[in-house]
Amino acid sequence: MAKNRVIGRFAVAVVITAWIVIALDQWAKAVAMANLQPGELVPFIGQLVQLRLAFNDSAAFSLGFGITWIFTIISSLAALAILWFSRKIETLSWAIMAGVLLGGVVGNLIDRITRATGFADGTVIDFIQLPFNFAIFNIADMAIVITCTLGALRLIRGEQIGKAKLEEAQVEPKSASLTGN
C-alpha cells in the first residue's frame, strides 16, 4: 500500500511540473506575440541570445515542413505515453524530468491545435535565437531537448528510465558459498 502512495506522489509531481512548464512556455509565447514583429531581430542578452518571432509549421530544426498534422498526432501520443509511464516512476528526479518533457510536448501541442486553420495544422510560436543562424526555438523546445539530453546521459551511466538506483548492497549480495554455509 505504501508503494502505491509513493507511485501516486511521483505521478502528481509529473503533472505539477508539466503545468509549470506549460504555463511558463505559454506566457513567454504570449509576451513574444505582444512585443515582437515577425522576422524582427531584438537583442536580449547582447548578441548571444536574440529574440525573433517566427511561426514554425514543422518539427525541430524545421524538419518535416508541411506535415504539421503528423506532428500533432505524434505529440498527442507522446503526451499520453508520458502520462501512462508516470505512474511507474520510482524517483522524484525521473518524475521531474518526465514532467518537464510532458510540459514541453504539450506546450507545442497547444500551439499546433489552437493556431490551426484546418485539422491540427497550426504553427508553433518560436522566438529565441542563438548566433550562427541556429534554429529559432521556444521554452517548450528547450524543455524537450534538455530532458532528452539528461535522460540519455542517465541511460549511458547505466540507470533505467524511471527506476530507482539499486543500493550497493543489493548489487553485490553476499555469497553463501564464500562463508561455507
Q: Please check whether residue 169 lies inside any domain of the structure.
A: no
Catalytic (active site) residue 57: no
Residue tagged active-site, from 25, 111, 121, 126: 126
> What was the pLDDT predicted at 1?
45
Q: Please check whether residue 146 lies inside any domain of the structure.
A: yes
| pLDDT higher than threshold 70 for residue 33 | yes
135-180 confidence digits (pLDDT tens): 889 999 999 999 999 999 999 999 988 888 765 334 444 444 455 4
Torsion of CA 149, 96, 15, 163, to 10 degrees: 90
Give dist(CA 69, CA 61) in Å, integer: 17
Give dist(CA 100, CA 126) in Å, integer: 18
Q: Please check whether residue 11 lies inside any domain of the structure.
A: yes
82-138 confidence digits (pLDDT tens): 999 999 899 999 999 999 999 999 999 999 999 877 777 788 999 999 988 788 899
Domain that holds residue 119: 2-162
Catalytic (active site) residue 126: yes
Q: Please check whether residue 43 lies inside any domain of the structure.
A: yes
Q: Please check whether residue 179 lies inside any domain of the structure.
A: no
Q: Please check whether residue 48 lies inside any domain of the structure.
A: yes
Among 81, 106, 99, CA closest to 25: 106
| pLDDT higher than threshold 90 for residue 16 | yes
> What was the pLDDT predicted at 8?
65
Rg (CA), the chain: 21
Q: Please check whether residue 9 lies inside any domain of the structure.
A: yes
Q: Please check whether residue 12 lies inside any domain of the structure.
A: yes
Instruction: Order the strands of the 49-56 sheet from edge to edge.
Output: 42-45, 49-56, 124-129
The tally of domains found in the chain comes to 1
